[in-house]
Amino acid sequence: MRAERFGKTVGLGILAGGEPKKIWNIPYCATEHLHETGVREIDMVIEHNDFLLDASYEEEARSAMIGHWLDNVDNVSELGIPGTSQSAWMSDGIDHERHGMKRFDMTMKSHAMDLEEVRRVGGDPVTLLDARTRAKIRRAMREYAQLGALRIETAATVVGSLEWLDSLEMLHQKRWTGKGEPGCFSNPRFMRFHRMMIARNHENGSAIVMRINVGDAALGYLYGFADKQRFYVYQCGFDYEMVERNSMPGLVCHVMAMKYLAETGLQLYDFMAGFSGYKSALTNIEENMTWTIFRSDSLRFRMVEYARPFIARMDHHKTRLMSKWRGIRLNSPHSSKTPLNQGI
C-alpha cells in the first residue's frame, strides 16, 4: 500500500494475506496482516510496528491508509496489526464502525531505561534502580571482578558481528534447551534473517552486537538495533556458569550496555514488550505495546463465539475417545504386527 500527497509518497506498508481461521478444518475467516503473514513458523515477533510514514504527514497518512485498508477488505474478515506503540493507533480517529468492523486490542507493558537520566546521575544506571536490584548487581560485579576486569566492546566489522552472533546463539540455546524450551534459534529462518540484518546494517550503525568481558572471557552478548535515539534490545546470550555464587550475568551485561550507550548519546534503552521481571527491575519508563484486530461485524463470528464452548467440549471428548481407542488396540491380542524387518 502506498499513500501520496501532491505526488509525493508519504506512506508505505506491506499487507499479507494470511492463512484462514478454521474450525474442524473448515475455513470460516479470511485474514490479512500488516508486515506479518500470520504463520507462526515464518513470522518474527514484530514490535513498534507501523506504516513507513513521512513525519510531516504521519497521523493523517496513517489514518488514511487504515481507512483505505478497511474500505477494501473484500472477502477478508479479519485484519491483524501486531505490536504497535504509537498512541495514534489507539485514537478514535479511525472509524472502524463505518466499515462494519469491530476492534479488539490486546495491550502488553513495555519497559525502557531513560539514558538521559543515566547521564544526569553520572553515567551509572545502577544508582537509578531499587535497593534490592542494586545490591544484587553489585554483589555479582564483585564476584566477576575477582576473575578479571569487566569491560564492554562492540563488534568492529561485519565478520566480527556474525561471529559474535554465533556465540550468542550458543549461549542462548544452552540456557533455554536446559529448561526444556526450544529457544529462539531453533528456527533456522530466525538465524538466517538476523545474519542478513547484520550484514546489511552493521556499517550504518543500525545493527549492533556487543560483548561483555570478564578479563579475556566473554560473560555475555547483546544484539539489537539503534534507531531514532533508541537502542532496541532484541536478543542476548549469557554465561551462567562463570561463577558459582551471585551469578547475575544478564543484569550485569544490561547495566554495562546501558552505561556504554548512554555515553554515545542515545536516549532510551528499550527492552520492548514482555513480562520478564528483570525488565521492570532494570528500567524507569513503562510504555504500552498493542496488538489490534479489526474483525467484520458478521453473524458468523457471533455464531462461532456462541458455539466455541460446545466445540471445546467436543474436541475434549474426541481426544479422550481417541486415547481410549489407542489403548484398546494396543491391548488387543489381534493388534500385534510382524515387524517389517523380521527375517531379514
What confidence tens digit (pLDDT) does each residue in 292-334 have?
Answer: 988 887 666 666 665 667 666 666 666 766 776 666 666 655 5
pLDDT tens figures, 186-223: 888 889 999 999 999 999 999 999 999 999 999 999 99
At residue 102, φ and ψ (nearest 5 deg) are -105, 155
pLDDT of residue 339: 43
pLDDT of residue 337: 45
Q: Which H/E stretch holds residue 263?
A: helix 249-264
> Collapsing DSSP states into helix, strand and coil, what is residue 148?
coil
Question: At 142, which amino acid appears?
Answer: R
Q: Which H/E stretch holds residue 273?
A: strand 268-273
CA distances from 246 to 68, 130, 136, 212 (A): 55, 18, 7, 17
pLDDT(343) > 50: no
pLDDT of residue 63: 87
pLDDT(64) > 70: yes
pLDDT(336) > 60: no
Average pLDDT, the chain: 87
End-to-end alpha carbon distance in the chain: 63
pLDDT of residue 342: 40
pLDDT(55) > 50: yes
Question: At 309, which amino acid appears?
Answer: P
Q: Is 174 exposed, middle or buried (0-12, 13-18, 19+ CB in 10 A)?
A: middle
User: Quick one: cell of 302?
Assistant: 457471533
CA distances from 300 to 92, 304, 306, 311, 326 (A): 26, 6, 10, 15, 35
Q: Are 238 and 219 in contact (CB under 8 A)?
A: yes
Average pLDDT over residues 18-27: 80
> Collapsing DSSP states into helix, strand and coil, what is residue 46?
coil
pLDDT tens figures, 72-120: 876 678 899 999 987 667 666 677 777 778 888 899 999 999 999 999 9
Domain covering 111-288 in this structure, CATH number:
3.40.630.30
Domain ranges of the chain: 2-100+297-319, 111-288
Report long-range pairs for 120-129 (Cβ below 8 Å, ≥24 apart): 123/259, 123/262, 123/263, 124/259, 125/255, 125/258, 125/259, 125/262, 125/282, 126/255, 128/284, 129/281, 129/282
Q: Are 312 and 301 in contact (CB under 8 A)?
A: no
> What is the side-by-side order of every strand in the sheet holding 52-53?
2-5, 8-12, 52-53
